[in-house]
Structure 1
Amino acid sequence: MFPHSRREFLPFLRSHWRSLLLVLLGVLIPFGLFAHLTHEVFREGGFSWDQGVLDWYAQRRTPALTQAAETLATLGGVMVLPFVTALLAWLLARVGGASGRAHGWFLVSGVAGATLLNVAAKVVFQRPRPDELLAVLSEPGFSFPSGHAMANAAFGFALTLVFWRSRAGWPVAVFGLLWALAVGASRNYLGVHYPSDVLAGFTASVAWVAGLYMVMARRWPQLRGSPAGPRDTR
């Protein structure tokens, strides 16, 4: 697969640069950032700005913002997000045929896999949540990485990859990014996660979804096209 000489390297680079860029930006860099965050939190005692950011949010709480943050927590939580993901996957399969089914399975696998990885990570790291006295909500379980941030970043990134080669590519990408950022910020606003928990969730999900995409695309080449088939490509 990889070139064995300098003469073969440039043609290989020209034909595989998109995959190599996805590996670098989608897997290696995010995973490296996740490893750095993990090291700083559990070997060096965390980040000084973690509590400072939580205090900044706490000083700016209003009833309207709190209601909005709680709504985001509900929509991005286990009571809503899995059903939205399943519904979108079903619609993709119904409208797009074989291509839609491949994209639907990728979307479900991306979100479900990120959720399972988050559960495993919390069991391994067992970081306590921030001080409950400063939190709006009291939630059980551990803090690192943020499950909401991880699941919704996986949802937004997977949805972007699903629609990237369709006419909806850029709008979906912007929505996915803003949705993940909004849910992540809401977890800090509510005081139930440190900012480093949210950043770790983001980086872990990007690495997971990008890696999953490359693996599944080798089995289902339809993933590299539009979910509606070639008629919808740009």
Structure 2
Amino acid sequence: MFRGVRPALWARLLALYGGLVLALLAFAELAEDVYRHEGFPWDRALLAWFHGLRSPFLDGLAHLLTLSASLPAMALLAGGGLLWAFWRGLPWVRLLLVLGGSEALNLAGKLFFARPRPHLFPQLTPEHDFSFPSGHTMASLALVLGLFWLLEGNPKASRLVLLLGLPWALGVALSRLYLQVHYPSDVLAGWALTLAWFLGLRLILGRRDAAPRGGG
């Protein structure tokens, strides 16, 4: 099946498979305890630490970061990215699949696990739906990974997406903890699930790259 595959592609495939397995294992470990309602001691400890950081400046920054990954903002960013990719003749379906699949997995996870929001400390932006996994975390990371894949043919642009996008996605995730609307395990599960979805897509849709070249 993989006869004639270049060594560099073998290394890439192994990295993708390894990353996918690790991401799935991380999500499964978190999901099992949430499903059993066992919880994590470090969830409470980290939320208490974030509560202790409260300041007017950080309040405003956290609200701004959360707003940047809200549903209206993400719809605008994703829609703009898809239109731009279509106009430039880029593989826009990659971005659509990463974003759409991530959103579907998030909704399914919230309904299945039905984990209540944390109420250890006052929420700065009250949320009333379920908590696990974090939707803002998944959406922001999915946008960054989708744009990275979209621009993969341009190494300079794709690296720039990661350089600028990953700190933003991290900031969005931390803002959800600072605002006390998610447990840290919600955020970690969101990262793991989005990464697993992205790597799975890369493996499935990238199989043609591993096809043998020539007649051999």
Scaled by the length of structure 1, the TM-score of the pair is: 0.81
Q: Name structure 2 gaps, 5 residues minimum.
A: 210-216
1:129 Cα deviation after fit: 0.5
Equivalent-residue separation in structure 2 for 1:46 and 1:132 (angstroms): 13
1:165 Cα deviation after fit: 3.7
1:116 aligns with 2:109: no
**What's the counterpart of residue 193 of structure 2?**
204
**What's the counterpart of residue 179 of structure 1?**
168
1:29 aligns with 2:15: no
Equivalent-residue separation in structure 1 for 2:28 and 2:61 (angstroms): 32
1:31 Cα deviation after fit: 0.8
**What's the counterpart of residue 213 of structure 2?**
none
**Pairwise mapping of residues 71-90 of structure 1 onto structure 2 (< 5 A)?**
71-90=64-83
Assess if the C-alpha contact under 8 Å between 2:50 and 2:178 holds in 1.
yes
Equivalent-residue separation in structure 2 for 1:204 and 1:147 (angstroms): 11
Q: Which of 48, 51, 60 does residue 67 from structure 1 map onto? A: 60
CA offset digits 1:66-120 (Å, max 9, x no partner): 111111111101111122111112112212x2xx1x2x12112211211111011
Equivalent-residue separation in structure 1 for 2:153 and 2:37 (angstroms): 43
1:216 Cα deviation after fit: 3.1
1:132 Cα deviation after fit: 6.6
1:179 Cα deviation after fit: 1.6
| RMSD between superposed Cα atoms in Å | 2.0
What is the SS of the residue equivalent to 2:54? coil
**Pairwise mapping of residues 89-168 of structure 1 onto structure 2 (< 5 A)?**
89-95=82-88, 97=89, 100=90, 102=91, 104-131=92-119, 133-166=121-154, 167-168=156-157
1:16 Cα deviation after fit: 2.6
Equivalent-residue separation in structure 2 for 1:19 and 1:79 (angstroms): 36
**What's the counterpart of residue 14 of structure 2?**
20
1:136 Cα deviation after fit: 1.0
Equivalent-residue separation in structure 1 for 2:189 and 2:121 (angstroms): 24
**What's the counterpart of residue 229 of structure 1?**
none
Equivalent-residue separation in structure 2 for 1:106 and 1:83 (angstroms): 17
Residues 16 and 133 of structure 1, relative CA distance in 2, 3 Å threshold: closer
Q: Which amino acid aligns with 1:183?
A: V
Q: Name structure 1 gaps, 5 residues minimum.
A: 3-7, 222-234
Deviates more, 1:145-154 or 1:167-176: 167-176
Equivalent-residue separation in structure 2 for 1:119 and 1:41 (angstroms): 16
Q: Which amino acid aligns with 1:55?
A: A
Equivalent-residue separation in structure 1 for 2:59 and 2:153 (angstroms): 37
**What's the counterpart of residue 212 of structure 2?**
none
1:218 Cα deviation after fit: 4.8
Q: Which amino acid aligns with 1:141?
A: D
Assess if the C-alpha contact under 8 Å between 2:132 and 2:186 holds in 1.
yes
1:39 Cα deviation after fit: 1.7
Higher RCO structure (Cα 8 Å, ≥6 apart):
2
Percent identity of equivalent pairs: 35
Q: Which amino acid aligns with 2:125?
A: L
Equivalent-residue separation in structure 1 for 2:83 and 2:112 (angstroms): 34
Scaled by the length of structure 2, the TM-score of the pair is: 0.88
